[in-house]
């Protein structure tokens, strides 16, 4: 009996703890995406891909550089205050993660010739932090009492891996180049150099920490005809090779040789491709509106396969089976004074996470986003921008009829049944210099 339980524990640990790496809960866009790349984007709910005027559009579409006659540098930060909660059979529980998480928003666009611009941006497009208290999910918090040979005697060991806290932060260093084909058309291309700066995973059985890198590419197009602007931006999928160290916390299983003292492991994390199309219309010189449609290739996020570095053998496999999802964004910009611009935005994001493999690591659902922002010209080439965004997720009632067993995966089973809720507050500020 003990041997069967221990094998189940080890399998659950590998899947539940290491699988957290790509399934960190996010308080932002569908899945674990963070599309906010500038303060202007925060105020317009990320409807910026067809904007040839505002510098804050460059991180969304590098082709926007071609329409700016001056060089520019923007330095800013995004502060995110997420809130997750779930009501299960054991009561109501909050995900007690960090109250606020800060990520960078940095963008430089340099004019090198009449038709050529080069850019370099730094953002955090994926990741966040969640913490579920032990006992949140009763079926994953149970233990079994077994009798072992003397002198050990009767011991209590866990029968499943209960997720506790998870943290993931991915930075994207994006060099790019833009070419102004003519007065109305600009094209751009660049790289997305990803770095999983922080990846920390904890469960009741152990923890894992590590990092890794990956590379993708991006393309941009921006066309302007009269008062109409049309834009398109594409970021390719990418695979990050992550490596780290697993540290068990259950001393009983370690002493009995059922869990290793410590083991290095690797995991390939597949990031989705992203497509954004937009149309912007200037009703007057002061007032403009943009509608964008975004589509994210979450179908790339199918499985998480953990491999032991010493043996090269597969340790575990976790199925996610996500689907591609869309988002609809509307942004308004109003130049209320020659030196002051106001921004408003609304977006509706669809989740890519279905019911069959629902994961508490990403308690995702459809959500609505409301943004407001302001930009103030300070003179002498300087301006300051600020934005606020509120994210309101729809409640998600998980009522799976699939029974959880110690030998099955957790995703999509009744072990995660409950009512999930989420919201988030986001604040961004930037200092912009043109020269």
pLDDT of residue 187: 98
Instruction: Determine how many CB atoms are found less than 10 A away from the CB of residue 57.
Output: 32
pLDDT of residue 15: 37
CA 391 distance to own-chain centroid: 14
Give the mean pLDDT per block of 10 residues along the chain (435 residues).
41 38 41 91 98 97 97 97 91 82 95 97 88 90 75 74 82 98 98 90 78 96 97 96 80 66 79 97 97 95 75 70 94 97 97 88 89 97 98 94 81 91 95 98
Contact 78, 36 (CB under 8 A): yes
Which letter does DSSP use for residue 59 in this model? T
pLDDT of residue 320: 80
pLDDT of residue 256: 66
Q: d(Cα 79, Cα 150) in Å, to the nearest integer?
A: 55
pLDDT of residue 68: 97
Q: Which two three-digit tokens encode residue 162?
A: 């209960």
Contact 222, 184 (CB under 8 A): no
pLDDT of residue 16: 41
Domain boundaries in the chain?
2-148+168-434
Q: d(Cα 82, Cα 87) in Å, to the nearest integer?
A: 17
405: CB partners within 8 A, 6+ apart: none
Q: d(Cα 74, Cα 51) in Å, to the nearest integer?
A: 17
pLDDT of residue 350: 94
pLDDT of residue 302: 79
First CA to last CA distance, the chain: 73
pLDDT of residue 271: 93
Q: Which two three-digit tokens encode residue 149?
A: 């040979």
How large is the C-alpha radius of gyration of the chain?
A: 24
Topology (CATH) of 2-148+168-434: Porin (2.40.160)
pLDDT of residue 25: 38
Q: What single string gives the DSSP state of each residue in 107-169?
A: EEEEE-SSSEEEEEEEEEEE--EEEPPTTSSGGGS-EEEEEETTTTEEEEEESS--EEEEEEE
Instruction: Determine how many CB atoms are found less than 10 A away from the CB of residue 208.
Output: 26
pLDDT of residue 330: 98
Nearest CA to 101 out of 76, 78, 126, 74 is that of 78
- Give phi and psi for 326, each to the nearest 5: -115, 165
> H helices then E strands: how many in the chain?
3, 23
Q: What single string gives the DSSP state of each residue in 17-58?
A: IIGGGG----SSSSTTB----SHHHHHTTT--TT-SS-GGGT
């Amino acid at each position: 009996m003990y041997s069967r339980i221990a094998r189940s524990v080890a399998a659950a640990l590998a899947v539940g703890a290491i699988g957290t790496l790509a399934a960190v809960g996010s308080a932002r866009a569908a899945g674990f995406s963070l599309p906010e790349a500038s303060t202007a984007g925060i105020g317009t709910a990320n409807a910026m891909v067809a904007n040839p005027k505002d510098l804050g559009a460059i991180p969304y579409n590098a082709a926007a550089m071609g329409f700016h006659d001056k060089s520019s540098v923007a330095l800013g930060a995004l502060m995110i205050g997420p809130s997750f909660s779930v009501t299960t059979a054991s009561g109501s529980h909050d995900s007690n993660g960090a109250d606020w998480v800060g990520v960078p928003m940095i963008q430089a666009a340099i004019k090198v010739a009449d038709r050529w611009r080069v850019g370099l941006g730094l953002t955090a497009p994926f990741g966040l932090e969640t913490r579920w208290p032990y006992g949140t999910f009763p079926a994953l918090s149970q233990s079994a009492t077994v009798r072992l040979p003397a002198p050990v005697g009767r011991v209590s060991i866990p029968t499943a891996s209960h997720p506790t806290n998870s943290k993931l932060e991915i930075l994207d260093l994006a060099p790019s180049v833009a070419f102004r084909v003519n007065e109305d058309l600009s094209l751009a291309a660049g790289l997305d150099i990803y770095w999983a700066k922080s990846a920390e995973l904890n469960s009741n059985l152990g923890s894992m920490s590590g990092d890794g890198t990956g590379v993708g590419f991006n393309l941009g197009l921006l066309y302007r005809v009269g008062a109409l602007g049309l834009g398109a931006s594409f970021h390719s999928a990418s695979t990050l090779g992550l490596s780290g160290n697993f540290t068990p916390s259950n001393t009983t299983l370690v002493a009995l040789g059922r869990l290793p003292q410590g083991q290095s492991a690797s995991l390939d994390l597949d990031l989705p491709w992203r497509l954004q199309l937009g149309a912007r219309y200037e009703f007057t010189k002061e007032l403009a509106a943009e509608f964008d449609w975004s589509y994210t290739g979450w179908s790339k996020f199918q499985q998480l396969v953990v491999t032991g570095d010493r043996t090269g053998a597969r340790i575990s496999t976790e199925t996610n089976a996500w689907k591609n999802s869309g988002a609809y964004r509307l942004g308004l910009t109003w130049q209320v004074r020659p030196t002051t611009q106001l921004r408003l935005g609304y977006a509706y994001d669809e989740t890519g996470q279905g019911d069959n493999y629902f994961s508490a690591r990403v308690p995702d659902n459809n959500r609505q986003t409301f943004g407001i922002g302001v930009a103030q010209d300070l003179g002498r080439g300087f301006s300051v921008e600020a934005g606020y965004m509120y994210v309101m997720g729809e409640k998600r009632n998980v009522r799976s009829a699939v029974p959880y067993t110690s030998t099955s995966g957790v995703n999509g089973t009744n072990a995660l049944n409950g009512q999930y809720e989420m919201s988030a507050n986001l604040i961004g500020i930037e200092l912009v210099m043109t020269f």
